[in-house]
Structures are given as C-alpha cells and as structure tokens.
Amino acid sequence: MSFFTELAHQYIDGEWRPGSGSWDIIDFNPYDGEKLASIPVATAVEVDQAYRAAERAQVPWGETNPYARRAVFEKALRVIEDREQEITETIIAELGGTHVKAAFELHLAKEFLREAMQLALRPEGRILPSPVDGKENRVYRLPVGVVGVISPFNFPFLLSIKSVAPALALGNAVVLKPHQNTPICGGSLVGKLFEDAGLPPGVLNVVITDIAEIGDALLEHPVPRAISFTGSDKVGRHVATVCAASFKRAILELGGNSALIVLDDADIDYAVDAAVFSRYVHQGQVCMAANRVLVDRSVEKEFTEKFVAKVRTLKVGDPSDPATHIGPLINSQQADAVTALVDQTVEAGATALLHGGAEGNLVSPSVLTGIATDSPILGQEIFGPVALIVPFDGEDEAVRIANDTPYGLSGAVHTADIERGVRIAKRIETGMIHINDGTVHDEPIVPFGGEKHSGSGRLNGESMIEAFTTQKWISVQHGRSRFPF
C-alpha cells in the first residue's frame, strides 16, 4: 500500500524527513503481523523543531482571512473523497478495522471537516458597556497559538482530525503526535491530507515518536498553550498534571465504562441490536462502548437469550473481508490482557454464556453474567469484545449500578416511555447519554466529553471555540480619564 511507503516519515515545517532517533517504530498489521512500515523515531530535537516551526507559522496563519482558511478544509474534504478507497484500505490494514468501522470513521472525519469550514467563520467579538464614561470595552476571540494534539489508536484518523481541523480553522498551528501503533492513519496521513489541501508549511507538523524516547518533551515544551489528548485516564491524569505545572490548557477525552440500561418496558429485540453493536463495534475498542448491559430482572431471561443468540452470529476474522464483524485487537498485549481478564472473572465465580478464546490478536466475543458486585471487571474499561450482563430491580438500582464506576462518558436507556428515559438519563453521571439508541455516537456540533475520570473539557461545535481560542479585553477610552492622583 502506497501510504505505508510514501508516508513513513516525520512531517516538520513542510518537509518529509526521518527522525534522528537510534531506533525505529515498526508499524504492524494486527491481523496477520505483516510489517507495514519502519519509521525512524523522532527525538526531543524534532519535537522542538516542530513546535518552533509551528510558532513561526502560526502568526501569519492566524492573520489569514478566515474565508481563505475555510478553503483549505473544502479542499481537504475533496482529497479524502478522491482517495477514500486507499484510506479505507489503510485503516483496515493498520488498525484491523472492519469495513463497517472504516466507513463509520471516514464518514465522521468528513463531517468534522465540514464543521471546520463553518468554524473558521464563527468566532465573534463583543463590545461591552462600561461604568466609566467614554470607555468602550472590546472583547476579541483570538487563537491560543500553538496546540499539541495526541491521538489514540482506535479511531486515529477521525480523532486526529477532530482536534487538528478545528484548531487550524480557528487560526492556531498544531503539532500532532499519533499513537505509536497507528502512525500513518493517526499522523502522517493527516499531514499529507492538509499538505495536499494547500495548508502552508509549518502550520501542521507531525512527529512520530514514543515517550520512551522523548519523555514529557511534547507536554513540557514552552511553545504550546494547549494540549488536546485522547486516550486512557491513567495517561490523561499525567498529561493534566504536567500541563497544570506550566499553566497549559488541557482538553482531555479519556476512557469510559458505559452502561446500556434496558428497562422493563423496553423493545427487547431493538435493545438487543443496540447493545450488541454498542459492545462489539471495532472489537470493543471504543471509549463509548457499552461495557455493562444493565437489564431489569423481569426481562433479563428474554433479553439474555436473544443477546447471546445474536452475538453467536458475529463473524470473527479477517477485517478485509466485508462480512467480518470482529477483527483483531490492536496488539498481542491487549489480546492477552482481555482474555486474562475474562478468565479471572470466570474463575472468581462469574458465568460465561460465551467464553471467547484468542487466536493471535483475534479474540472471540465473551458474554459474562452472574458477576459479583465487587468484581474489578465491573469498574473498569474493557477495551475488547466482552459484554457484562447485570440484572437490576427497579430504576433506583439501575441508576446506582450505572454510577458505580469512576468513569462517566456515555450511556443509553431503553424504554417505551421517552420521558421516563430522560428522567433516568439525568441521574446518570455521564457527559452524554442516549434514549433508545446505542452508546456510540459523535456529532460535530454537539458537545462531546465526559465526567469524573472520563475527562475534562468538551469538543465539537461551540466547545471547539472555547477549547482553541482565548478572549482578550481591549478597552478604548474616548476622551480623557480622570485619575485620583
């Protein structure tokens, strides 16, 4: 595939070049182990060069007419549409994403580019009154300057674009670091997209590296004023701590442990469909995935039987096969961790209605029930194809169980009574929740983010303006002020 040879480089100040590190990041196909690319790692020297290039390029870019900035995103959208098949193949190869997953990711990436076009024109200033005669208070919206973006491995193309595009549209420059398991989809492919769209050199830079090489250089560098991080809560906590020490803004989109709640009056067949998709899409490697399926005890038997029957129909295998529902996990460490977690939970007394095994990085679906209330598996994010079915008695218990986790990202409530569902949804401690739908949703104009350990700040729509701009007060005194001395 051409992207893996064409883009196996750092992208700094408009130049494609190797990193100066003494070792390579090896990009593997998680399904068959094929070596896709070998990329000399960027060092702290390249990180500095990328940030300095961004610093130089940001001022003229920020002063560019926003209509001209908008044109870049219009062209970027056309570039994706022209190369959609190649990008799809790259997602399948590098992530182990299925055709359904790749289509979902590309659709949303294009939607976020369309939103970025509008975002370039959206910031507005204000003139506010003053108690001082003759004073005019102007409040300007200005770019924060340079933004560091750190993207994850599960939806790398989408989640890089999701922060990069609005930051650029609002007049910032960006340094992007993709996850080391997805350096092409999450990094250099995004750089190439904007290069081909006519973005000036240095406005977007891509460094492919690892903390084993650079430590906290990406976070501690004096140039960036904001860091947008998507990943685990453990790493997110560290990002927040480092950013706070240097008064950087941190936008954190972290993990989840979502609950999909099935009430006694729910459409069971529909709830089963929503729950299966919400748990097993992209092998369960989704922060919004329904880790826990909470079912009213009065419908537990019917729901569980139908849920297990549907899960049995999911095809596990080669993600390049359009019929495949579940492809590989991202690497062997993740596959081993998921299978070990299932085995430990069963050994502790849970019942495995399906007990998926592993073949390489392919992990078949598991469905567990009868889980002890103090089981560690109930409180953590499971980044794999494992569903936990938990019965409850009444709404209050459903709410208590749903909230019994350090996370608070997404969720869903299934009921025939919409307002009943809304009342329950308001009690769930999450940033997002959906009535009679799945838990996995993202829309460009709706605030996206979590509560508790699921992050801080919001992205999408107007939230992007809050994330990537700052306000500046300039007062103008018409006439002369009077001073007390």
Tell me if residue 278 falls in helix, strand or coil. helix
Q: Exactly one of 94, 105, 111, 253 is catalytic; which is it?
A: 253
Q: Exactly one of 55, 105, 243, 287 is catalytic; which is it?
A: 287
Which residues, other chains included, contact 409 with Cβ-Cβ below 8 Å and sequence gap of 6+?
254, 255, 256, 257, 258, 287, 288, 430, 431, 432, 450, 451, 454, 455
* The one-letter amino acid at 32: D
**Percent helix, strand, coil in the chain (nearest 5)?**
40, 20, 35
Which letter does DSSP use for residue 355 in this model?
-
Cβ neighbours around 33 below 10 Å, total = 11
Q: How far is 269 from 306, CA to CA, in rounded Å?
A: 7
Active-site annotation holds for 253: yes
CA angle 246, 252, 254 (to 5 degrees): 140
Question: Which stretch of DSSP H or E encloses residue 16?
Answer: strand 15-17
Q: How far is 51 from 227, CA to CA, in rounded Å?
A: 12
Q: How far is 435 from 433, CA to CA, in rounded Å?
A: 7
Q: Please say whether the beta carbons of 164 and 176 come within 8 A.
A: yes
Q: How far is 206 from 41, CA to CA, in rounded Å?
A: 12
Active site residues: 253, 287
